[in-house]
Structure 1
Amino acid sequence: SVEELLQRQDERYELLTRRQRGTPVPRHRSLRATVDWSFELCSPEERLLWARLSVFAGGCDLNAAESVCAREGLTRDAVLDVMAGLVEKSIITREEVHGRARYRMLETIRQYGREQLRSTGEEPELRRSHRDHYLHLAERVQERWFGPGQVALFASTRTEHANLRAAMEYSLTEPGQAPAGLHMASSLWIYWIVCGLPREGTVWLERALACNEEPDRIRAMALWAASLLNIYGGNPAPETGTDEVIVMAEESRRLAEQLADPALVAHATYLSGFSQLRGSDLAQGLSVINDGIELERAFGEANPHLRFAQFMLTVVATQCNLVDVVITVGEECRAACRKLGDEWVRSWISLYLGAVGVLQARDHEAENHLREAIQLKEPFNELLGLGTAVEFIGWCSIADGDVEQGTRLLGAATVLVKPLGFDFDTYLPPGGWGGRRDHRTVVAEAKAALGETAYARAFESGARLSQEEAIALALGTEVVPEKSTAGPGESPLTRREEQIAELLAEGLSNKEIAERLVIAQRTAETHVANILTKLDCTSRSQVAVWVTQRRRATAERRNGDAG
């Protein structure tokens, strides 16, 4: 049956060796014979590389292949040429991922290579070499996550997810390798968060902690990471596990103190405060997390944990309606992130600054913060943050009187969070907001203004968008329309396009426009293209002439009205 075949998929060569009718060519009578035939056509070096490449899960790049597979019988310099030979023979395939060549094998081909590797006796050594390579990758993620190149770092690491899993599985099942697995799982703490995998990270850390109880720095860091991931969503029911998380964070801090490790003491202190803030002791939590922030500050302004601790304080301060804390800490953190090139932490700070702006009815300022958050989050494809920002921009539009557009944005926000299983009726706002505004209140306002039928029509219009279209709607980017049919004296431009046309008339570049309006440069470029099309212009100078003529015409109309 299909179920039995699935159970025996690892026995595919034995399962498929029975002779079939209509296969007169002997080498095609079985899968094994076919692959045996291909293997025999390979040179000795190609066979060796085929076998060694089988330790990779999900493929690898050239650097990984050279690092892991170059040893006796195959020099590092020879790997590329031998790899090319395997590509020509269709044993492996080559593709480009994030601008780098990546090589993959069909699973059946990889399993055959693994059999050959076992027969050589090299498998234990190769698997350990494979683990070491990806342990170095995990360490590199931890060292470099705060600063320029974040998007590329996380994208390339996500590509290696299957290999990271294989490396950790090896560490946790091979005798004596558990400490390396624990170190690897904890080094990836920020990866688990940014890539939306806190539950998987928690599972790996819990397994690794159970395998290694040595009271050393590796365990202290792993306890810290496990408690953080539990808070961040690694626990399927975090509201029932607050006490356990606090205990884990405190255990990490005690162990760090025993080890006299000041950096880890600082990390554990701010996390302990954050876990208490998520519990019931707000005053104590604020005191402890601020202690942790000051401890982190002692390691310099470029210390990534200082900014992460400030981010965590901003999260809770937003939920507890501590507006002054959000603004003071958030602005300091955002400025430092901009200076140091961090985009991920900055995206969240912008989101929370936008949130408090919404609650204080500072809608224009809030929209600028929220659009910045969207532009920063889009490359990370962080759907929860994107959806939340779009939702809040919808609130701003409704408060500003553009109820139909705001309702469309409410619908567009669901496009982004629906794949995560979130519902804004229950998800947002997360915590106490001083009884000001919430999703249900905003919906009621919109329905009262539009009526039930018009509200449903506008909401569904937004909910039918793609994720890219939902983001474009929130950013004010529109599809380029046909030539303008505006009447005499009427502007064919939207309010945002008129604003950008004014800036074009001042001589600003697309980059300068983006900075002035706090929008992405790509968004500014799209608006400029729309303006040129609508005005039937071929140059920016022609737009400037149009703006000047429009100003003059407006002034003349006003003078005429006054007369």
Structure 2
Amino acid sequence: YGAVALFADRARVAGGSFTLSEANRELVVDLCRRLDGIPLAIELAAARLTVLSLEQIAARLSDRFRLLREGSRMGSPRQRTLRATVDWSYELLPEPERALLRRLSVFAGGFSLEAAESVCSGGSVDETEVLDLLGRLVRKSLMAVQDRGGVARYSLLETIRQYGWEKLSDAGEDQMVRDRHCRWFLQLAEEAEAEFRGRKQSAAFARLELEHDNLRAALAWSTDQPDADATLRLTSAMGHFWRQHGYYSEGLAWLKRALELSAGANPLRGKALLWASTLALELADYSAAERYGTESVASAQEGGGQWELGFAQHILGSVAFRMDEMEQAAQFLRSSFTAFQQAGTTWGLALGYQSLGLLSWATGDYDRALETADEGLRLFRMSGDDEQVASSLRLLGSVHLTMGNFTTASAVLQECLALFERLGAKRSVAHANNDLGILARIRGDLDEAKRFHTASLQGFRQLNVHQGVGYALVELALLALTEKDVASALSTINESLIIFRDVKDRAGIVKCLECRAASEFQEPYRAAMLLGAAEALRESIQNPIEPYLRDWRESIVVTAVQALGAKEYDLAYSEGMSRSLDEVVGFCLEGRWPPIGSTGSREEPKPLIAGHPRNNSGR
């Protein structure tokens, strides 16, 4: 508050029109923070309000020494510019402190003692003296130190860091220090990667999150050189972290750059292709995911081992699964399982069982899904991979939910959510919240359901996971229908339907069509047509309706039959089955519905007999 008050006072003295208000207070607070609370820097920034707006000043702080170079004529020469003041302080330092300070400017977002010793020692800075030198810089208020979980974490004031960066270049040390910095964080990333699938994974992920800014700086340096080997190694080591913590777009951008720098097939490039495919899949860019995945399979077949081949085939199977190509998904996932068996690793076998369980669940073989998912869970527990333990729990919870085992589903999904939250797996947390919201709605706790689905929606939106947003929205639409809020339901269904159409998620479109049918109780012919279109799509992608939704869907059927009569219902239903998917989606989104009976079905209307989806919804 003192810094903000100083800024407002100096702005008033400068004679400008600036007035501190609620509208600009947050920006002033941020500006003072970025200036490290240094009084002179704040005074000089406030003086610039006579010629620049507050927003312009904030935007120019990356070059603060140029921005803040004119001060009051009343001060001593060293107080008239920010640079002069820092110059004066810098020149007072003994050479070892000056050398360390300028070398420390290579770090972004803080650093550990060990990193400073490795990266910044040499010449006048003896490695054994780095700790004492850091202490002196802290006492002189040129840097800060914080306790992070019992470990000291150091950081330069941003103003001092920018100054040190210039001095590092002037001293001709920038190449050497940045090389050391890159090597240190490459080693850190590779050591963390070795722990991603075991009992130390939580600490490993946390370590990379803490050093993420430094890892970005190392990547920027390796790509600028360019150093293809270092870039491939670093991006490959970070792929799992990027996926786990939701950095899909950023990670894929770095991986693309790494792949552009490399040429020819080699195991390291194949590993980068694996993670590029994985992150493209998370972003629902299926064509890119398939392209990278196909190249990674070829790379594994040429020079990789069975484990690499199994994982590459697993990714391609996941791509096919997301695209609702179940036969192709089954082929890839079974080939992946065979490769993992030949590799003989517990983790690979566990992933194989988990994937086959997911496939069985999606295609309605629930007993088989329970059996394989449970075996995957057992093996993941043996390996100590809590992330995959949580993923297996989510699959088991979903299968139990689908089968109506709600008490078991609740316990399993709650355990899954707690694990994902502890690991910081943001996307998976959003999925687990959505699953628990479905369970709460089925049990009649609509407030709890809304809480879970809203948390899920917020999580997916923060991560920019459009497909996840679509699934959270369609569940919120179901809630709105349950509460008889049809207008809200229609709006939410349409938003979800647009997402699923754009990412080509046909299973999601099915859910939207059935929800839309439930909202059309005043237009029973439309409702019946939508049910027919949804059933045709379910059959084409081998996606049976979940057992817990059968009664709900049957209630829509009964309402429509009562309003139309059996013959008219069958006509509408068959018309829906004969329409193209693009046509039906267009009717929903554009609101221009065809006249009743305007197109004939490709087949005769099906009679009201057992086995008709109207009497046996969900098969």
Corresponding position: 1:293 with 2:337: yes
Taking the aligned partners of 1:387 and 1:368, their CA distance within structure 2 comes to 17
Select the residue among 250, 264, 278 that pairs with 2:308: 264
Provide the secondary structure at the position in 1 that maps to 2:142. coil
Partner of 2:86: 35
Partner of 2:453: 413
Taking the aligned partners of 1:394 and 1:263, their CA distance within structure 2 comes to 37
Query: Quick one: which amino acid aligns to residue 119 of structure 1?
Result: D
Shift of residue 52 of structure 1?
Answer: 0.8
Select the residue among 67, 75, 95 that pairs with 1:15: 67
Select between 357-366 and 345-354 the one with higher mean Cα deviation.
345-354
Partner of 1:170: 221
Provide the secondary structure at the position in 2 that maps to 1:298. helix
Residues 353 and 21 (structure 1), Cα distance of their counterparts in 2 relative to 1, 3 Å cut: same
Corresponding position: 1:338 with 2:381: yes
Residues 324 and 140 (structure 1), Cα distance of their counterparts in 2 relative to 1, 3 Å cut: farther
Taking the aligned partners of 1:396 and 1:274, their CA distance within structure 2 comes to 25
Shift of residue 309 of structure 1?
Answer: 4.7
Describe how 1:39-118 pairs up with structure 2 within 5 A: 39-118=90-169
Corresponding position: 1:249 with 2:293: yes
Residues 95 and 417 (structure 1), Cα distance of their counterparts in 2 relative to 1, 3 Å cut: farther
Shift of residue 57 of structure 1?
Answer: 0.9
Query: Quick one: which amino acid aligns to residue 358 of structure 1?
Result: L
Provide the secondary structure at the position in 2 that maps to 1:55. coil
Corresponding position: 1:134 with 2:185: yes
Partner of 1:469: none
2:457 and 2:469 in contact (8 A); partners too: no
1:391 and 1:410 in contact (8 A); partners too: no
Taking the aligned partners of 1:423 and 1:69, their CA distance within structure 2 comes to 44
Shift of residue 248 of structure 1?
Answer: 2.1
Shift of residue 398 of structure 1?
Answer: 4.5
Query: Quick one: which amino acid aligns to residue 221 of structure 1?
Result: K
Query: Quick one: which amino acid aligns to residue 67 of structure 2?
Result: L
Taking the aligned partners of 1:411 and 1:270, their CA distance within structure 2 comes to 34
Shift of residue 29 of structure 1?
Answer: 1.3
Partner of 1:275: 319
Taking the aligned partners of 1:198 and 1:119, their CA distance within structure 2 comes to 37
Taking the aligned partners of 1:420 and 1:438, their CA distance within structure 2 comes to 14
Residue by residue, what CA displacement relative to the aligned partner does 1:319-355 show, whole Å, maximum 9, x if unpaired? 4444344322321121122233221111121112111
Partner of 2:238: 188
Give ranges in structure 2 of 5+ residues lacking alignment: 1-51, 487-619
Residue by residue, what CA displacement relative to the aligned partner does 1:496-528 show, whole Å, maximum 9, x if unpaired? xxxxxxxxxxxxxxxxxxxxxxxxxxxxxxxxx
Describe how 1:343-422 pairs up with structure 2 within 5 A: 343-400=386-443, 403=444, 405-421=445-461
Residues 221 and 393 (structure 1), Cα distance of their counterparts in 2 relative to 1, 3 Å cut: closer
Provide the secondary structure at the position in 2 that maps to 1:104. strand
Residue by residue, what CA displacement relative to the aligned partner does 1:120-160 show, whole Å, maximum 9, x if unpaired? 22210110111111111221232110111222221121111
Provide the secondary structure at the position in 2 that maps to 1:86. helix
Taking the aligned partners of 1:259 and 1:302, their CA distance within structure 2 comes to 22
Taking the aligned partners of 1:41 and 1:316, their CA distance within structure 2 comes to 68
2:354 and 2:377 in contact (8 A); partners too: no
2:78 and 2:84 in contact (8 A); partners too: yes
Taking the aligned partners of 2:322 and 2:460, their CA distance within structure 1 comes to 22
Taking the aligned partners of 1:80 and 1:307, their CA distance within structure 2 comes to 46
Shift of residue 56 of structure 1?
Answer: 0.7
Residues 115 and 396 (structure 1), Cα distance of their counterparts in 2 relative to 1, 3 Å cut: closer
Residue by residue, what CA displacement relative to the aligned partner does 1:372-420 show, whole Å, maximum 9, x if unpaired? 11221121343443344344334434444xx3x4433322431353143
Normalized against structure 1, the TM-score is what?
Answer: 0.70
Shift of residue 310 of structure 1?
Answer: 4.4
2:358 and 2:373 in contact (8 A); partners too: no
1:270 and 1:292 in contact (8 A); partners too: yes
Normalized against structure 2, the TM-score is what?
Answer: 0.64
Shift of residue 7 of structure 1?
Answer: 6.1
Provide the secondary structure at the position in 1 that maps to 2:194. helix
Select the residue among 277, 282, 291 that pairs with 1:232: 282
2:446 and 2:479 in contact (8 A); partners too: no
1:393 and 1:406 in contact (8 A); partners too: no
Shift of residue 426 of structure 1?
Answer: 6.2
Taking the aligned partners of 1:379 and 1:321, their CA distance within structure 2 comes to 32
Shift of residue 444 of structure 1?
Answer: 4.1
Provide the secondary structure at the position in 2 that maps to 1:213. coil
Select between 256-265 and 156-165 the one with higher mean Cα deviation.
256-265
Query: Quick one: which amino acid aligns to residue 249 of structure 1?
Result: G
Taking the aligned partners of 1:141 and 1:322, their CA distance within structure 2 comes to 38
Provide the secondary structure at the position in 2 that maps to 1:168. helix
1:390 and 1:410 in contact (8 A); partners too: no
Taking the aligned partners of 1:73 and 1:276, their CA distance within structure 2 comes to 59
1:396 and 1:406 in contact (8 A); partners too: no
Shift of residue 218 of structure 1?
Answer: 1.6
Residues 89 and 325 (structure 1), Cα distance of their counterparts in 2 relative to 1, 3 Å cut: farther
2:460 and 2:468 in contact (8 A); partners too: no
Taking the aligned partners of 1:153 and 1:117, their CA distance within structure 2 comes to 31
Give ranges in structure 1 of 5+ residues lacking alignment: 431-436, 453-563
Taking the aligned partners of 1:159 and 1:50, their CA distance within structure 2 comes to 21
2:113 and 2:152 in contact (8 A); partners too: yes
Residues 211 and 100 (structure 1), Cα distance of their counterparts in 2 relative to 1, 3 Å cut: same
Taking the aligned partners of 1:60 and 1:388, their CA distance within structure 2 comes to 34
Taking the aligned partners of 1:424 and 1:125, their CA distance within structure 2 comes to 45
Residues 227 and 407 (structure 1), Cα distance of their counterparts in 2 relative to 1, 3 Å cut: same
Provide the secondary structure at the position in 1 that maps to 2:198. coil
Provide the secondary structure at the position in 1 that maps to 2:154. strand
Query: Quick one: which amino acid aligns to residue 357 of structure 1?
Result: H
Taking the aligned partners of 2:59 and 2:79, their CA distance within structure 1 comes to 25
Describe how 1:433-512 pairs up with structure 2 within 5 A: 440-441=477-478, 444-445=481-482, 447=483
Taking the aligned partners of 2:236 and 2:294, their CA distance within structure 1 comes to 17
Query: Quick one: which amino acid aligns to residue 393 of structure 1?
Result: L
1:425 and 1:439 in contact (8 A); partners too: no
Query: Quick one: which amino acid aligns to residue 201 of structure 2?
Result: Q
Size of the aligned set, in residue pairs, is 432
Shift of residue 204 of structure 1?
Answer: 0.6
Residues 14 and 243 (structure 1), Cα distance of their counterparts in 2 relative to 1, 3 Å cut: closer
Residue by residue, what CA displacement relative to the aligned partner does 1:474-506 show, whole Å, maximum 9, x if unpaired? xxxxxxxxxxxxxxxxxxxxxxxxxxxxxxxxx
Provide the secondary structure at the position in 2 that maps to 1:101. strand
1:390 and 1:409 in contact (8 A); partners too: no
Shift of residue 91 of structure 1?
Answer: 1.0
Over the aligned positions, Cα root-mean-square deviation in angstroms equals 2.8
Provide the secondary structure at the position in 2 that maps to 1:144. coil
Describe how 1:150-165 pairs up with structure 2 within 5 A: 150-165=201-216
Shift of residue 213 of structure 1?
Answer: 1.9
Residues 317 and 195 (structure 1), Cα distance of their counterparts in 2 relative to 1, 3 Å cut: farther
Provide the secondary structure at the position in 2 that maps to 1:93. strand
Query: Quick one: which amino acid aligns to residue 353 of structure 1?
Result: L
